[in-house]
Amino acid sequence: MTFKVTILGSSAALPVRGRHHSAHALNVHEQFYLVDCGEGTQTRLGECGINPMRLNAVFITHLHGDHLYGLFPLISTLSLLGRKTPLELFAPAPLGELLESMYVMLGDTPAFEVHFHPVDTRQNMMIYENKVMEVWTVPLRHRVPAAGYIFREKRPPRNVRKDMIDSYGLDISQIVAVKRGEDLVLDDGRTIPNDQLSYIPYEPRSYAYCSDTMASGKVASLVEGVDLLYHEATFAAADKALASQTGHSTTVQAAEVARKAGAKRLLIGHFSGRYKDTGELVSEARAVFPDTEEATEGSTFEIAPKRNL
């Protein structure tokens, strides 16, 4: 039931010592996903103990180099390592043309299939689904078309209460029906509601990645109640005008989005290289949203399951 995020890179346009370009690795039930792929991401995966061959899908927010330039060498490396499993790739539409051009210019088509899925950055919609998770797009406000992503764990199967199994002498077929959410009808005609017989073992978890973007009330509404929100905070509060000019957010604006969304925790990063003391940036955000942490490189943030029994 793993649900955790590892920070591979969290710098803005210019990398600085100790801060690489944007990339997060998400582990959901031991299935791995990459969100953004800045320069050096494949190296950072290895340094953080994550095997790139285990990646199921890559999600790119927008086509700026600090979120993208690590993708092409990553694909090349996976090919050299002998990957055969297709890789799902989600990004704004022009990336598909860029990939095809790269294959032609370099004469280097991967040994595995890259299934490209164009993302409509204007829509909030589900773009990926498997047995345990859904991925939804979050329209962002940046200088170029951009979409964030929210990863929502599906509700786990219901557990049947052992005392109810004993009390009513449930057989296998009845247990299976209760796990499906059905009520129990007894031989004497009584109906036992399902919520008396079973329970959801833990609450579904969620993680949202919002970068690059200006602060937006629409973003706050779309990520409402998220367990872990990563929101860019490129600039300090004093540089609000510069944030607006460049399509970015300040520390305080990121914190306000988290507060409006009712997020459980906030991660901030994508700091401009002009700031050497990131602790001051975190302090600014915490003044508005106390449960704020820095997206420190190499750190892993786990969302523990909230158990119901």
The residues carrying an active-site annotation are 66
CB atoms within 10 A of CB 176: 12
Q: Are 254 and 215 in contact (CB under 8 A)?
A: yes
- Return phi, psi of residue 244, to 5°: -65, -40
Q: Are 111 and 123 in contact (CB under 8 A)?
A: no
Sign of CA dihedral 126, 130, 134, 136: negative
Q: Are 239 and 186 in contact (CB under 8 A)?
A: no
CA atoms within 13 A on the CB side of 262: 4
Alpha helices in 7-118 (DSSP H): 41-47, 71-80, 94-106
Q: How far apart are CA 160 and CA 179, in angstroms?
A: 6
The residue type found at 51 is N
Q: Are 213 and 219 in contact (CB under 8 A)?
A: yes
Among candidate residues 104, 88, 95, 105, the one with its CA nearest the CA of residue 69: 95
Alpha helices in the chain (DSSP H): 41-47, 71-80, 94-106, 162-168, 172-179, 194-197, 217-222, 240-246, 251-261, 278-286
Intra-chain end-to-end CA distance of the chain, in Å: 16
